[in-house]
Structure 1
Amino acid sequence: MKGVEFALLAIGAVAGAYLRYRIVESPVTSGNLPINVLIVNALGSFILGLFSVITTTFNLDQKYTLLVAVGFCGSFTTMSSFELETVNLIDNHAIGLAALEILANVGLSFIAVIAGRLLGYAILETMLR
């Protein structure tokens, strides 16, 4: 990995980690369901879906993938925190909430990727008119 590539990866990772920290530590609540990590994972999935359309359509240089997909989205989204929150809910005998946590994170993140891609295609269609 060359210096410029490493720098782009690092810049994306720092930005993603910082934004994740700010969102996870914010006082957003939804009853007993840990929603902050859900927000991070869904938003990161949306960004990655949108970015995938942009990169394939415009055949962007790999450096942009290092910056956005690997660096930013890689450090922004957080599977390990989602898993820990789910296990903590199970440990506290909140099996229903744990199931909801799993469905919400996986389902919403999946929908967010699709929404990001749809937005990307809509933007491209508008640009090409």
Structure 2
Amino acid sequence: MKIMNMRPAASSFSVHPNRRRQAQAMRKIALPTLDGFIFKRVEQIIFLEADGNYTALHFSDGSRSLICKTLQHTEELLGAYPQFIRVHRSYTINLNHLERYVRGKGGHVVLEDGRTVSVSNGKKADFLKALELYFGHL
């Protein structure tokens, strides 16, 4: 008797990377607040800002929500989304909302909503590497 592998070939279920990225961006995530949860699409998050043991999330519609998790824990919630990169001890940005990077000691980024976020000198090399990996060239 011959044993056959019943799993279909992986290529028959492969999803184009851009479609996978779009599907992930459209997915809503649950974010814990002091009085419950908010549900937001990942694509709406412009940047995260540490606020002690809380994290302020800034959204593309101009709103801001304070969630009851540290920045590190919030980054873990967003771990499946490679567009989020820590640029400073207190800031994580969504590369999809990046307008420009201005060089300097660490430099700073300008986001689509016009806000400026510093890139720490210690995070600069990792940030530039992440830009190269995410956008494919620099």
TM-score normalised by L of structure 2: 0.23
Choose 1 or 2 for highest CA Rg: 2
Structure with the bigger RCO (C-alpha within 8 Å, sep 6+) is: 1
- 1 or 2, which has the higher helix percentage? 1
Query: Which structure's residues are more often strand, by fraction?
Result: 2
